[in-house]
Each structure stands twice: as structure tokens, then as C-alpha cells.
Amino acid sequence: MLSTLARKYRETALITLIACGLVVGILIATTMPSLVPVIAICGDLFVKALKGVAPMLVFILVMNAMAQKNLQTENPMGSVVRLYVIGTFCASLVGVTASFLFPTTLQLQVSDAKLSPPNGITEVLQKLILGIVDNPIHALSTANYISILAWAVLAGVVLRSATDATRDVLRDLSDAVTKMVQFVIGFAPFGIMGLVASAIGESGLGALLTYGRLLAVLLGAFFAVALIMNPLIVFLVLHKNPYPLVLTTLRESGLYAFFTRSSAANIPVNLNLCERLGLDRDAYTISIPLGATINMAGAAITISVLSLAAAHTLGINVDMPTALLLSLISTVGACGASGVAGGSLLLIPVACASFGIDNDIAMQVVGVGFIIGVLQDSCETALNSSSDVLFTATAEFAKRAKAGTLRAEDMVPRDR
């Protein structure tokens, strides 16, 4: 009986299970409030597990990515990488702008938290610089993500000259920590059930309305990047109507990614689309897997919006220079986001640290991210994955346009 239930659980899509956990949490909080303290333990355990695995996840994934990837590639790869970085940074700017236009607050437990809000950009930069040189072991144990990122990048760069066997070990470690995260996230439905029941039990249904506003800001930013910002970037590069290509990538890549919720799982779909667009195979077989690692416009938006929501909740005043710094941190953090569902949420503490927000509160924000993740993560992945093909095609089409060989029909995929 139990084995049958376990098999059914594994075979059911995670997004469906999370939706069920959300509904069950609401029902328990509204009909059986006496059970809320018991069910809330599931949420606490889930957040605790995320806090435990997140520092090692960031360190291993970023170190492996830096050791394995060589961004000094020949054109059009250089152009693709530049578009990836520009697109991710612009997306973070959109997320920050949306947060300022529609400020959102969250229901967080802040009574026991230790806060040291920065007074301005100078103090933020001072903390960032000093935080970089923290002892790496201490940084991992205290979740000092600024230092973790710095040491991971340095170690990865040094290990580029290591033997193939050493890089294979790093790759295996990266796969192992990813599977650990997948195991933890496999319990997300129970964690979400506990978090939702606890939030509604303490704050009422108004907590969900707050999440709804947050979700609206996130989705608005996603659509703004997909339908305005990305087309503008493509137009500035090609000087042609970008929407045939944009809509093609959204329809034939983004739609699949919306349901798979994994940029890595969508790589075969993107490779097939690149082939149908007639792109250079030697280029797109590298750029598409690379994009699944570093081209994370949706993740940059998620990190920016949720981090600023935490700052607004705590009454932290964020000036424009600090907001620009947040965009840079979100861009770097997004490039290190895990390829699993909800992976970008684990990078939120990196951005929150720049505001002096305690890691305990940052992980509560991560929990909120999982609550709204049924739609947030699907739309985020759709934006990430479709942008991989969009910018890969844009880089090659720009090369053709310069040579005078680009035709309008090239921007439409061939029939299957």
C-alpha cells in the first residue's frame, strides 16, 4: 500500500503536487485551525532543509560552471554570451523597476531576527567587499553567499587548468548536489502545505492576497521582458521586425518549458528548434546548453522582486544606486541558479545579504517563492529557455545581416 502511494507520488508532476499542497494547506487553516501548529512543522522542516543545502549548492554549481565553461569562444559565440549577459541584466532592471512601481510586502516573522539595514550604497559596498574575503568554511557554515560566490568563482577559474579527471569529479559533484536539491524539493508539497497553513492561521486569508499581488508583479515583469525588452534588444541588433522570431521561440520553446519547469530538460526542444531555424550546428550545440546555465532572465527578475519585497516588508529604504547594485547581484546570482525547478529561489539570500537582511528571513522569502511557484517558476523557465534560442538565433542572424545574406523567411522555422 505504502509502496504504491510512493510510486504514485513520484510519478505525479511536482507542479500538481504543489497545487494540491496549497489547497490542502488552505483547507486545514480555514476548517481545522487546531491542526495548524502540527502541520506547520512540515513547513519549518522544508525551510530548514533548504537552508542546509543552499550554501553547498551555490558553491559547487558555480565552481563547476566556471571550471567547465570557456566563454572565450569564437564568433558568434562571443555575441551570444554578450546577449545572454545583457538580456539577464536588463531583465533584472525590469524586475527592480516593477518593484518600485508596485511595492509589495510579505507576511514574515521578524520579531527574533537580527537586522542591520544599510544606510546607503557606501555601506552596502563596504559590507560586500569585506564579505568577499570571509573564510570559505565559515562562509559555508554561516551562509555568507557573497563570500561563497567569490570563492567559487576563484576556485573554478583556477581549476580550468586541472586534469580532465579532476573536472569530471567536479561534474559528478555538481550532479550529486543537484540530485540532493531535487530530493529536498520533492517534499515541497508538504512544505508548502505547512507554510500556507501557518501563514493563513496567523494572518488569515489576507496573506494569500499579498502573495497574489507579488505574483502579479512577477508575471508582469516576465511578460514585459518577453514581449518588450527582448524584442527591443533583437531589434537593436538586427534592425528588423523581431516579433516573428520572438513569438516563434515563445510558442515552440517557452510553451514546453512552461510545463517541464526545467531549462536543462528543455535543451532537446531548443536544439530541435535551432535546427529548424537553420542555425549553425557547431554554434547552437554549445550556446543552448550554455544558455541553460547562465542565461537566466526570469531568475534575475525573481531574485530582484522577492528581495525588494523583503526590503519593503522590513522598512528598508532602497535608493537608486543600491537598486542598481541589486541588479548586478541579481544578474550574477541568476547565472549561478540551479537548473532544477525552483532553483532561482535559493539565490534570493545572495541578494538579501546586500540589504543586511538576516538569512532566516531570506529563507522565509524563499518559502514564499515556493508558495507562488506553481505559476512563477513555470513562467520563469519559459522566459529563460525561450531566450536561449532567441539570442542564439539573433547572434547568427546578425552575422548573416552583416554579410547581406539574411532573409525574412530565415526567422521562421521550417516545418517538422
pLDDT at 74: 46
Q: Is the peptide bond before 76 cis (omega within 30 degrees of 0)?
A: yes
* 378 neighbors 51 (Cβ within 8 angstroms): no
Q: Which amino acid is at 174?
A: S
Q: Assign 63 a pLDDT band (cuts: 50, 70, 90).
A: confident
pLDDT at 91: 92
In a domain, 3, yes or no: no
For residue 320, what are the contacts with CB-CB under 8 A and spacing of at least 6? Answer: none
Q: Assign 236 a pLDDT band (cuts: 50, 70, 90).
A: very high
pLDDT at 208: 57
In a domain, 144, yes or no: yes
pLDDT in tens, 329-382: 787 767 655 555 556 777 777 778 777 777 778 878 887 887 777 678 778 888
The total of structural domains in the chain comes to 1
| 179-197 average pLDDT score | 78
pLDDT at 116: 47
CA distances from 306 to 15, 349, 374 (A): 20, 10, 16
Instruction: Tell me which residue range forms the domain holding 243.
Output: 14-411
Q: Is the dihedral of CA 357, 183, 63, 337 positive or negative?
A: negative
| 60-72 average pLDDT score | 68
* Contacts within 8 Å (CB) and 24+ apart, 357-362: 357/115, 357/307, 357/310, 357/311, 357/314, 357/316, 358/113, 358/114, 358/115, 359/51, 359/142, 359/143, 360/51, 360/112, 360/113, 361/108, 361/109, 361/110, 361/113, 361/115, 361/310, 361/314, 362/310
Question: 72 burial class (0-12, 13-18, 19+ CB within 10 angstroms)?
Answer: exposed
In a domain, 252, yes or no: yes
In a domain, 9, yes or no: no
φ, ψ at 240 (rounded to 5°): -135, 165
In a domain, 295, yes or no: yes
In a domain, 8, yes or no: no
Q: Assign 71 a pLDDT band (cuts: 50, 70, 90).
A: very low
In a domain, 7, yes or no: no
In a domain, 131, yes or no: yes
pLDDT at 386: 92
> Which of 398, 68, 383 is closest to 218 using CA atoms?
383
pTM over 0.75: no
Q: Assign 235 a pLDDT band (cuts: 50, 70, 90).
A: very high
Q: Assign 233 a pLDDT band (cuts: 50, 70, 90).
A: very high
- Quote the CA–CA distance of 154 and 172 in Å, as a whole number: 19
C-alpha cell at 320: 537608486
pLDDT in tens, 111-159: 444 444 444 445 545 666 777 788 888 888 877 766 887 888 788 888 8
pLDDT at 120: 44
pLDDT at 374: 66
- Quote the CA–CA distance of 146 and 323 in Å, as a whole number: 17
pLDDT at 223: 94
CA angle 393, 220, 261 (to 5 degrees): 60
* 12 neighbors 186 (Cβ within 8 angstroms): no
- In this predicted structure, the answer to whether residue 214 has a pLDDT above a threshold of 80 is yes
- In this predicted structure, the answer to whether residue 76 has a pLDDT above a threshold of 70 is no
- Quote the CA–CA distance of 83 and 69 in Å, as a whole number: 17
Burial 265-302 (b: 16+ CB within 10 A, else e): bbbebbbebbeebebeeebbebbbbbbbbbbbbbbbbb
Q: Calculate the average pLDDT of the chain.
A: 78
11-20, 57-66, 67-76, 246-255: lowest mean pLDDT where? Answer: 67-76
CA angle 226, 234, 245 (to 5 degrees): 70
Q: What is the CATH number for 68?
A: 1.10.3860
Residue carrying C-alpha cell 538576516: 358
pLDDT at 220: 93
Cβ atoms < 10 Å from Cβ of 358: 19
